[in-house]
Amino acid sequence: MSRPTAIGAPDVLRAPVLADLPAGRRVLAAWPVEQPGQGTTPARRGIELVSADPQTAQTLTTTTVPLPDTWLEASLTGFTVYVAGVVGTTAIVSAAATDTALTAAVDLTSGRLVWSVPDVAAQLLTDDTVVVRFRDLAKNELRGLALADGRPRWAGVAGSTVWPVGASQALVNLRTVENAWGGSQVIDTATGRPADSPLNGQPGWSCRSDEQDLTICSLAPYTGTDAVLAFDDDGTELWRITRDSGRAIPTVTAAWHGMIYGYTDAGPLVLDGRTGQDKAVTASTAPLLVNEYFAVGAASPPSPERRPNY
């Protein structure tokens, strides 16, 4: 599945997204397109959302989300388009540049544009909320939009990067132009209100999902990992490995369906995501990508540290 584009080079694209729809599994990808003018109709830019069969790569449907006329006139530095995710049969797509953005919802059954909101770029999705970042050079602000109609649910949360924590919470990196030190705060994605969490406070946290019902968060403010914590779907802490736990803290590289992959000075290993205990004390690699079919990672080098060359 490929598309030529008149806007930018291939690095404006992000990875495609798999979606399980009533009609079957689909691969979704977004491309920037430029629609030439015809007669008195001016040219304009858009986001082309393409749905394809993952077995044959055959394009099944396409939907074009129009961008404002100003996008054609502006010099778009850092331009990118992407599928932020899918909830049910609704796909969220975004286009973003350094100082502007647009986020839209597309119904995958009908191919209909459901809503479109300017000046915001999608960061993550929950069952009923799209967390977006207001695109402005002067400030970093996160907002919440209703998945159903794009209406504002909350606003005014200062922060930059955001990660999901369970099904209804998000970890916000509080670092902004005004707050260079940063920090971290977990919020309720439905309301934007702060939530109690052991992740609150110190900067350097990042999280990843096992694409099932676990979230694994690592604290690495400088070099190396200082802590690893696991949470279930409602944000409850399940286990932790810290510097005072008497265990070597792993650097986590991937998580998939209850398994946590990573490495310590002793080499690659696998943890049980539910308990945090060693599932396999030795492994051939610490994969960067895992799914139900395969794992991709560097071979473990024959060195004293036995660390993968990442």
Every domain of the chain and the residues it spans: 1-118, 204-310
Closest to 126 measured CA to CA, from 113, 139, 107, 145: 145
Q: What's the rounded mean pLDDT across residues 268-286?
A: 92
Under the banding of pLDDT at 50, 70 and 90, the label for residue 294 is confident
Q: Chain centroid to CA 55: how far?
A: 25
Q: Which of 46-60, 64-78, 100-114, 134-148 has the lowest mean pLDDT?
A: 64-78
| 218-262 pLDDT tens trace | 999 877 789 999 999 999 999 999 999 999 999 999 999 999 999
Q: What is the pLDDT of residue 177?
A: 67
Enter the CATH code of domain 204-310: 2.40.128
Q: What's the rounded mean pLDDT across residues 213-218?
A: 96
Q: What is the C-alpha separation between 19 and 27, in angstroms, rounded?
A: 6
Q: What is the pLDDT of residue 13?
A: 65
Q: What is the pLDDT of residue 151?
A: 97
Asked if residue 137 lies in contact with residue 203, where contact means CB atoms within 8 angstroms, the answer is no
For all residues of the chain together, what is the average pLDDT?
87
With 70 as the cut, is the pLDDT of residue 10 above it? no
With 50 as the cut, is the pLDDT of residue 7 above it? no
What token pair was written down for 18? 């798999």
Asked if residue 231 lies in contact with residue 251, where contact means CB atoms within 8 angstroms, the answer is no
| 113-138 pLDDT tens trace | 999 999 999 999 998 999 999 976 66
Residue listed under structure tokens 């992740």: 199
With 70 as the cut, is the pLDDT of residue 303 above it? no
What token pair was written down for 207? 């999280």
Compute how many other C-beta atoms are within 10 angstroms of the C-beta atom of residue 258: 15
> What amino acid occupies position 79?
F
In this prediction, what percent of the chain has a pLDDT beyond 90?
A: 59
Please name the residues in contact with 76: beta carbons below 8 A apart, sequence gap of 6 or more: 7, 8, 97, 98, 100
With 60 as the cut, is the pLDDT of residue 215 above it? yes
In this prediction, what percent of the chain has a pLDDT beyond 70?
A: 88
Q: What is the C-alpha separation between 81 and 94, in angstroms, rounded?
A: 6
DSSP run (H or E) holding 73? helix 70-73
Q: What's the rounded mean pLDDT across residues 103-119?
A: 95
